[in-house]
């Protein structure tokens, strides 16, 4: 029997923790610094790749993802160095997916050809909005015109292009969003990540919200209708939702993200990067030191950048399988759930099934569309205490 | 033993925050009763909760040795009484154990409602009263205005009043001299049979029950065999002593003295406050006039949040009851909340104090149900039944009429807020008894139903008067009114812990307010939830809590799996803190919050 992670695949996540400026809604591990020593970072990231490759010998790598922060602030040499280390450590799949997150400014678009030459074959552009006033409110440095140009360059350069948009913004009506989404869909891209704005504690928006200074965010009912509109429009445009916030033309789904949602194994490299590795039958969660300087120093001096490395229990492994897997249209394999935690009580599915929030087909468990929009509650119901 | 002529027994009466505890500290400190290094603030407030809230709950006693300016040595016994209305009864019985009072008035504030209530108790107990005007170190101090007020409003002579600063110590010597020269010495007969008044008692883990006594006649010695006249029980005294303020053993206690005894008594309940203690042999034949026991007036249910902690709760309640005879309890079962206790308290503060102590000292999280007063149900067959819990309301066809407890509330308020206060009292079904002026400030006296007051009247009063009103009350008896039981149904299931007695004319309004509040307090569920208020089978108010429409995390990638899992565990733990009623989870704070009225 294959180890359960193999059903989810194997990938590499590389975290680039630097940005030009900090967006007010963002709680990612991103930092604004004067200068980055690209050589030093390229070396440290490559060393971490090699370290992890040594503990997972013989595996075939299906995906590499440069996330951030703003990976489009990496030089093409840094990207190339990390990719070379990966190539050396593992066998790259013939159809390996190599994605890089990019901010859609003109400076960054100029680097696209270099990334392509280094091996990147997919970009994810952080467009966020197609309305200039909203881009300003979101604290973004680019405007709509720059974003459109960056999209064009990306389409010419890479085989696959995805854009991120944030909706359910302050004061955003259903009509406004529908019109904006329509413009986005008419770009004819093969992948769209559409996130409802989340107010994260510890961010500038989080503080403003707590002080009552972030008015006119949609209430639950409006945010439901916005979500519904989004699902309908994307389906009609041939890019249906395959995960809560991700939409793609059939076959163009992000292979990398599928590893997370299907509880595959991935190596996480860089400050604050998380990883999951199944070694000798046990599942291990790793996390990098969050502060960039401390991470770099640790890699150099101690030979690794990990802050934690812990073994997940059968129950924790099973819970992750369920709470990640039910986010997708494909759902999860109940046999795999049972195998992950054979001694734990079974999922409590009856009530949610009766309410039409989940469905079972053969041995596949799926959240229905009604269930997906209530997923947090649904999961709390079905995972036994 | 000290000669009667050299003993002075006194208490201090004051409105809260006028400086009673600080003055007591100064008296204790300036006479060297406590060494400076042992001195901590508010020496007599011993429980954590008392210190934290700055209130005195139980009476405390201290014996002060004082060498007066005339060179003579005096023993001064101070009984510090509780300041809050809930404990007014303890004040009155402590007063009976002493002959005089210091009336402390904050000279920057003037006379307040508790000043009045407490000073009248002192007058009732025939006390000699020495006015003390405190806080003269503050610029806002106005001693002559306060003197005028004391004479006009209270009607006692303020010419001998002593201006002091309990903070700086200015005037403390004069206070001590006034105690010696203006307060009367106690009277008593050393050769008569022993008559000791049982002033208070409490449980000490090492000594068993400690009994505070005031000797009227005779002499009490260690190893004496004594009889508690009301109970008829006999005990051998194993320890006697005085408080300085720690316990100090003495050989005997004579007439006029205040001290303690222990006699291997197990339960506070075995010692009735107000009882007379005498010798087993050659005892007194007539007891001192007793006091009425204090009776609980506010009842509520206490249930463990985690039903597995029921036995721990029982244990905690039994232990607390050992030390507090005014707190009553009996087991209660609620369809919704499971096993718990129906408990009786002297008032809302008393309730909060006990609840805090259970949560804090015994680490048990509690659900507190709606407080209720005791109603008198007059049944058609002529029987009278006490109703402590609205859930126990019998079928109305058997009830002839219902009476509810009423109080007389005294409120002092600055002119500008008078209108709001009158409106508040009127809204709470009050009947105005008096509207006069205490100096320049209106003094309002209202006859109010206790059930309109127990819950949040004081909070409302504070908020409409920006904290400037002062308030005190006393029970005045029972009166019939048009009272009904209102039930609350959540998702069509009656929630007994939320049912309450209301006046028929106010039922619709209260029902609507309750339903609206609950709609905000109960989180949305995956289905819609009707919330109704009903009298009998008739629905008088209704709201619908709509179903949850959207509850999903937008972004969830590799780094979020851990976070998501931890969040889920937290969510589950949070759910355990709610109570399930049918399929609905109600957060524990809803039981109390739903009852708070906005007007
Ligand atoms: N300035 C000043 N403050 C005082 C004086 N006496 C008491 N206080 C303060 O008034 C507050 C209430 O005093 P406290 O003794 O606790 O009052 P109680 O509630 O009557 O026991 C405390 O903050 C004291 O420090 C005084 O003579 N002058
Ligand atoms: C790793 S982040 C940022 C990538 C890139 N630095 C950028 O900003 O374009 C990936 C995406 O998450 C989304 N995102 C970040 N914070 C969010 C928030 N608070 N609410 C909703 N979406 C958010 C944005 O669409 C963002 O493009
Ligand atoms: S949203 Fe993107 S660009 Fe903005 S701070 Fe976060 S990671 Fe950086
Ligand atoms: Mg005090």
B474 strand-pairing partners? B408
Q: What is the DSSP letter of A249?
A: S
pLDDT of A1 higher than 60: no
**Residue list, ligand 3 pocket, CB within 6 Å:** A 19, 22-23, 26, 28, 30, 68-70, 103, 126
ipTM: 0.93
Tokens of A113: 């050809």
Sort out which chain A residues have CB atoms less than 8 A from B545's CB and list them.
none
Name the one residue in this structure whose structure tokens are 């009292």: B425
Name the one residue in this structure whose structure tokens are 């930092």: A31
pLDDT of A321 higher than 60: yes
- Give yes or no on whether A4-259 and A313-385 have one common fold: no
Verify whether ligand 1 is closer than 6 Å to residue B21 (CB atom): yes
Out of B20, B78, B109, B166, mutate this one to test ligand 1's pocket (max ligand atoms within 8 Å of CB): namely B166
* DSSP calls for B479-496: EE--EEEEEEEETTEE-G
Reduced to 3 states, what is the DSSP secondary structure of residue B469?
coil
Of A197, A220, A383, the CB nearest to B568: A383
- Alpha-helical segments (H) within chain A: 38-55, 76-89, 106-109, 112-118, 132-137, 144-157, 174-185, 204-210, 220-236, 255-261, 292-302, 314-325, 334-340, 350-354, 369-372, 375-382
A332 strand-pairing partners? A365
Is the domain defined by A4-259 classed in CATH 3.20.20.70? Answer: yes
Could you report the per-residue pLDDT of A361-379, keeping only the tens digit for each? Answer: 999 999 999 999 999 999 9
- Alpha-helical segments (H) within B222-290: none
Tell me which residue of A317, A313, A170, A326 sits closest to A261, measured CA to CA.
Answer: A326
Q: Point out the least confidently predicted range of A242-246, B125-129, B136-140, B568-572.
A: B568-572
Cα(B15) to centroid(ligand 4), Å: 9
pLDDT of residue B87: 66
pLDDT of residue B42: 58
B352 strand-pairing partners? none
pLDDT of residue B48: 47
pLDDT of residue B105: 96
Could you report the per-residue pLDDT of A173-207, keeping only the tens digit for each? Answer: 999 999 999 999 999 999 999 999 999 999 999 99
Sort out which chain B residues have CB atoms less than 8 A from A276's CB and list them.
558, 561
pLDDT of residue B459: 78
Nearest CA distance, B544 vs chain A (angstrom): 15
Verify whether ligand 1 is closer than 6 Å to residue B262 (CB atom): no
Could you report the per-residue pLDDT of A68-79, keeping only the tens digit for each? Answer: 999 999 999 999
Q: Which ligand has its closest atom nearest to the C-alpha of B22?
A: 1
Tokens of A160: 């696959």
- Of residues B201 and A172, more confidence is placed in A172
pLDDT of B224 higher than 50: yes
Of A221, A274, A373, the CB nearest to B558: A274
Sort out which chain B residues have CB atoms less than 8 A from A323's CB and list them.
561, 564-565, 568
- Of residues B559 and B236, more confidence is placed in B236
pLDDT of B415 higher than 50: yes
Cα(A331) to centroid(ligand 1), Å: 67
Could you report the per-residue pLDDT of B447-472, keeping only the tens digit for each? Answer: 999 988 877 788 788 888 877 787 87
Sort out which chain B residues have CB atoms less than 8 A from A385's CB and list them.
572
pLDDT of residue A228: 96
Of A224, A266, A276, the CB nearest to B550: A224
pLDDT range class, residue A59, cuts 50, 70, 90 = very high
Query: Which whole number is the average pLDDT over B135-143?
Result: 96
Could you report the per-residue pLDDT of A325-349, keeping only the tens digit for each? Answer: 999 999 999 999 999 999 999 999 9
Strand A265-269 versus strand A10-16 pairing type: parallel
Please tell me the residue having the least CA distance from ligand 3 atom 7.
A69
Please report, for chain A, the start and end positions of each structural domain, with discontinuous segments joined by +. Answer: 4-259, 313-385
Tokens of A346: 């079974």
Strand order in the sheet with B162-163: B60-67, B73-80, B7-14, B100-106, B128-134, B162-163
Verify whether ligand 2 is closer than 6 Å to residue A209 (CB atom): no
Could you report the per-residue pLDDT of B5-54, keeping only the tens digit for each? Answer: 999 999 998 888 899 989 998 998 888 776 665 555 655 554 444 444 44
**What percent of chain A lies above the pLDDT cut of 70?**
99
Per the CB < 8 A criterion, the answer to whether B110 and B104 are in contact is no
Query: Which whole number is the average pLDDT over B308-337?
Result: 85
Cα(B55) to centroid(ligand 4), Å: 5
pLDDT range class, residue B200, cuts 50, 70, 90 = confident
- The helix (run of H) or strand (run of E) holding residue B331 is strand B328-334
Rg of chain A's alpha carbons, rounded to an integer? 21
Q: Point out the least confidently predicted range of A309-318, B448-457, B520-529.
A: B448-457
pLDDT of B275 higher than 90: no
Which residues, 6 or more positions from B426, have their beta carbon under 8 angstroms from its beta carbon? none
Atom of ligand 2 nearest to the CA of A126: 9
The whole-angstrom separation of Cα B7 and Cα B189 is 14
Of the residues B544, B559, B572, the best mutation for testing chain A's interface (the one with the most A CB atoms within 10 Å of its CB) is B559
Strand order in the sheet with A358-361: A332-333, A364-367, A358-361
Could you report the per-residue pLDDT of B337-387, keeping only the tens digit for each? Answer: 789 999 998 877 788 888 888 988 899 988 888 788 889 999 999 999 999
Out of A30, A166, A217, mutate this one to test ligand 2's pocket (max ligand atoms within 8 Å of CB): namely A166
Query: Which whole number is the average pLDDT over B86-111?
Result: 85
pLDDT range class, residue B56, cuts 50, 70, 90 = very low
Cα(A163) to centroid(ligand 3), Å: 14
The whole-angstrom separation of Cα B551 and Cα A381 is 13
- Region label for A291, one of left (φ > 0), alpha (ψ between -120 and 50) or beta (otherwise): beta
The whole-angstrom separation of Cα B371 and Cα B302 is 10
Per the CB < 8 A criterion, the answer to whether B131 and B143 are in contact is no
Could you report the per-residue pLDDT of B483-511, keeping only the tens digit for each? Answer: 999 999 999 999 888 888 999 999 999 99
Q: Note whether A385 contacts B572, CB cutoff 8 Å.
A: yes
Of the residues A274, A311, A347, the best mutation for testing chain B's interface (the one with the most B CB atoms within 10 Å of its CB) is A274
Cα(B18) to centroid(ligand 1), Å: 6
> What's the whole-number average pLDDT of chain A?
95
Q: Note whether A220 contacts B564, CB cutoff 8 Å.
A: no
**What percent of chain B lies above the pLDDT cut of 70?**
91
pLDDT of residue A169: 97
Q: Is the dihedral of CA A275, A277, A282, A288 positive or negative?
A: negative
Q: Note whether B553 contacts A376, CB cutoff 8 Å.
A: yes
CATH of A313-385, one of 3.40.50.2300, 3.90.1530.10, 2.102.10.10, 1.10.10.920: 1.10.10.920
Q: Greatest CA span in chain B, whole angstroms? A: 90
List C-alpha distances in Å: A101 to A161, A257, B112: 10, 13, 70
- Of residues A206 and B307, more confidence is placed in A206
Burial class (CB in 10 A: 0-12, 13-18, 19+), A200: middle
B199 strand-pairing partners? none
Atom of ligand 2 nearest to the CA of A164: 25
* DSSP calls for B239-256: EEEEESSSEEE-SEE-TT
Query: Which whole number is the average pLDDT over B195-214?
Result: 87
Nearest CA distance, A383 vs chain B (angstrom): 9
Q: Note whether B565 contacts A375, CB cutoff 8 Å.
A: no
pLDDT range class, residue A67, cuts 50, 70, 90 = very high
pLDDT of residue B39: 58
Verify whether ligand 1 is closer than 6 Å to residue B63 (CB atom): no
Please tell me the residue having the least CA distance from ligand 2 atom 26.
A126
- Of residues B591 and B39, more confidence is placed in B591
Sort out which chain B residues have CB atoms less than 8 A from A316's CB and list them.
565
Cα(A24) to centroid(ligand 3), Å: 9
Long-range contacts of A343-346 (CB under 8 A, 24+ apart): A343/A314, A344/A314, A344/A315, A344/A318, A344/A384, A345/A384, A346/A384
Q: Note whether A244 contacts B550, CB cutoff 8 Å.
A: no
Per the CB < 8 A criterion, the answer to whether B442 and B469 are in contact is no
Verify whether ligand 2 is closer than 6 Å to residue A163 (CB atom): no
Is the pTM for the entire model greater than 0.90?
Answer: no
Q: Residues in chain B whose beta carbon is closer than 8 A to a beta carbon of chain A?
A: 524, 526-527, 546, 548-559, 561-562, 564-565, 568, 571-572, 575
Verify whether ligand 2 is closer than 6 Å to residue A128 (CB atom): yes
Strongest mean pLDDT among A222-226, B15-19, B49-53, B321-325: A222-226
Query: Which whole number is the average pLDDT over A118-146?
Result: 97
Q: What is the DSSP letter of A190?
A: S
Please tell me the residue having the least CA distance from ligand 1 atom 9.
B19
Q: Is the dihedral of CA B378, B381, B382, B383 positive or negative?
A: negative
Strand order in the sheet with A246-248: A241-243, A246-248, A191-196, A160-167, A122-128, A91-102, A60-68, A10-16, A265-269, A274-279, A282-288, A306-311
Query: Which whole number is the average pLDDT over B206-216?
Result: 90
Taking each continuous run of H as one helix and of E as one strand, the counts in chain B are 13, 34
Cα(B19) to centroid(ligand 1), Å: 4
pLDDT of residue B90: 67
């Amino acid at each position: 029997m294959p180890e359960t992670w193999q059903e989810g695949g194997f990938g590499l996540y590389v975290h680039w923790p630097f940005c030009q400026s900090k967006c007010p809604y963002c709680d990612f591990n991103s930092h604004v610094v004067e200068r980055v020593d690209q050589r030093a970072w390229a070396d440290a990231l490559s060393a971490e790749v090699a370290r992890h490759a040594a503990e997972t010998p013989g595996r075939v790598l299906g995906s590499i993802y440069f996330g951030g922060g703003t990976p489009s602030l990496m030089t093409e040499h840094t990207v190339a160095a990390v990719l070379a280390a990966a190539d050396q450590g593992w066998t790259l799949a013939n159809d390996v997916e190599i994605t890089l997150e990019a901010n859609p400014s003109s400076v960054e678009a100029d680097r696209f050809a270099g990334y392509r030459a280094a091996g990147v074959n997919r970009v994810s552009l952080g467009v966020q909005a197609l309305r200039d006033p909203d881009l300003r409110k979101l604290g973004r440095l680019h405007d709509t015109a720059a974003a459109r140009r960056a999209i064009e360059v990306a389409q010419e350069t890479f085989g696959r292009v995805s854009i991120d948009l944030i909706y359910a913004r302050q004061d955003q009506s259903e009509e406004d969003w529908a019109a904006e989404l329509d413009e986005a869909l008419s770009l004819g891209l093969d992948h769209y990540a559409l996130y409802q704005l989340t107010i994260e504690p510890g961010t500038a928006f989080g503080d403003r919200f707590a002080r009552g200074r972030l008015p006119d965010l949609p209430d639950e009912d409006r945010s439901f209708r916005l979500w519904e509109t989004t699902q309908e429009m994307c389906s009609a445009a041939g890019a249906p939702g395959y995960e809560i916030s991700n939409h793609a033309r059939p076959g163009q789904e992000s292979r990398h993200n599928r590893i997370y949602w299907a509880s595959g194994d991935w190596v996480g490299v860089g400050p604050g990067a998380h990883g999951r590795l199944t070694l000798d039958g046990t599942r291990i969660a790793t996390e990098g030191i969050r502060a960039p300087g401390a991470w770099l120093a640790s890699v150099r001096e101690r030979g690794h950048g990990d802050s934690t490395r812990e073994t997940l229990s059968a129950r924790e492994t099973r819970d992750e399988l369920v709470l990640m897997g039910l986010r997708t249209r494909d759902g999860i394999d109940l046999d795999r759930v049972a195998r992950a935690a054979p001694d734990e009580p079974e999922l409590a599915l009856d009530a949610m099934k009766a309410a039409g929030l989940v469905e079972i087909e053969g041995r596949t468990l799926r959240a229905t569309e009604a269930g997906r929009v209530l997923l947090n509650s649904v999961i709390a119901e079905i995972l036994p205490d | 033993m000290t000669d009667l002529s050299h003993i002075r027994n006194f208490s201090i009466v004051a409105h809260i925050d006028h400086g009673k505890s600080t003055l007591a500290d100064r008296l204790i400190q300036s006479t060297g009763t406590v060494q400076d290094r042992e001195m901590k603030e508010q020496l007599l407030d011993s429980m954590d909760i008392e210190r934290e809230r700055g209130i005195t709950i139980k009476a405390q006693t201290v014996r002060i040795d004082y060498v007066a300016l005339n060179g003579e040595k005096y023993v001064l016994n101070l009984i510090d009484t509780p300041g809050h209305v809930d404990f007014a009864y303890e004040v009155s019985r402590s007063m009976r154990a002493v002959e005089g009072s210091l009336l402390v008035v904050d000279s920057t504030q003037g006379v307040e409602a508790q000043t009045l209530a407490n000073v009248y108790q002192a007058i009732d107990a025939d006390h000699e009263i020495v006015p003390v005007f405190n806080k003269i170190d503050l610029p806002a101090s106005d001693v002559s205005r306060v003197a005028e007020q004391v004479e006009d409003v209270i009607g006692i002579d303020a010419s001998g009043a002593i201006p002091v600063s309990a903070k700086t110590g200015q005037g403390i010597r004069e206070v001590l001299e006034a105690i010696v020269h203006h307060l009367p010495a106690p009277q008593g007969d050393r050769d008569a049979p022993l008559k000791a008044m049982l002033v208070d008692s409490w449980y000490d883990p090492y000594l068993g029950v400690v009994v505070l006594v005031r000797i009227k006649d005779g002499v009490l010695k260690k190893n004496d065999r004594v009889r508690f006249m009301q109970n008829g029980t006999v005990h051998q005294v194993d320890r006697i002593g005085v408080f300085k303020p720690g316990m100090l053993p003495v050989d005997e206690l004579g007439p006029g003295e205040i001290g303690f005894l222990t006699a291997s008594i197990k339960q506070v309940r075995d010692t009735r406050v107000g009882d007379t203690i005498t010798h087993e042999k050659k005892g007194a034949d007539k007891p001192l006039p007793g006091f009425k026991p204090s009776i609980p007036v506010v009842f509520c249910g206490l249930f463990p949040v985690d039903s597995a902690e029921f036995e721990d709760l029982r244990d905690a309640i039994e232990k607390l009851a050992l030390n507090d005879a005014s707190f009553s309890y009996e087991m209660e079962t609620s369809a919704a909340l499971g096993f718990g206790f129906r408990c009786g308290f002297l008032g809302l503060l008393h309730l909060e104090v006990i609840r805090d102590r259970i949560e804090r000292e015994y680490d048990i999280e509690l659900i507190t149900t709606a407080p209720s007063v005791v109603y008198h149900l007059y049944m058609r067959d002529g029987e009278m039944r006490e109703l402590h819990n609205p859930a126990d309301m019998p079928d109305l066809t058997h009830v002839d009429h219902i009476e509810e407890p009423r109080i007389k509330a005294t409120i002092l308020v600055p002119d500008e807020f008078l209108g709001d206060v009158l409106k508040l009292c009127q809204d709470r079904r009050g009947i105005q008894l008096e509207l006069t002026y205490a100096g320049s400030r209106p003094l309002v006296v209202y006859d109010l139903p206790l059930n309109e007051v127990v819950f949040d009247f004081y909070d409302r009063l504070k908020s409409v008067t920006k904290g400037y009103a002062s308030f005190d009350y006393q029970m005045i008896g029972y009166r019939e009114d048009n009272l009904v039981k209102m039930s609350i149904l959540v998702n069509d299931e009656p929630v007994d812990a939320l049912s309450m007695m209301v006046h028929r004319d106010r039922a619709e309004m209260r029902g609507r307010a309750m339903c609206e509040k609950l709609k905000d307090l109960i989180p949305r569920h995956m289905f819609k939830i009707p919330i109704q208020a009903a009298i009998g089978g008739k629905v008088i108010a209704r709201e619908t809590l709509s179903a949850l429409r959207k509850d999903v995390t937008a972004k969830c990638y590799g780094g979020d799996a851990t976070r998501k899992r931890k969040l889920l565990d937290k969510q589950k733990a949070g759910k355990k803190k709610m109570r399930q009623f049918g399929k609905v989870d109600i957060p524990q704070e809803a039981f109390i919050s739903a009852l708070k009225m906005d007007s």
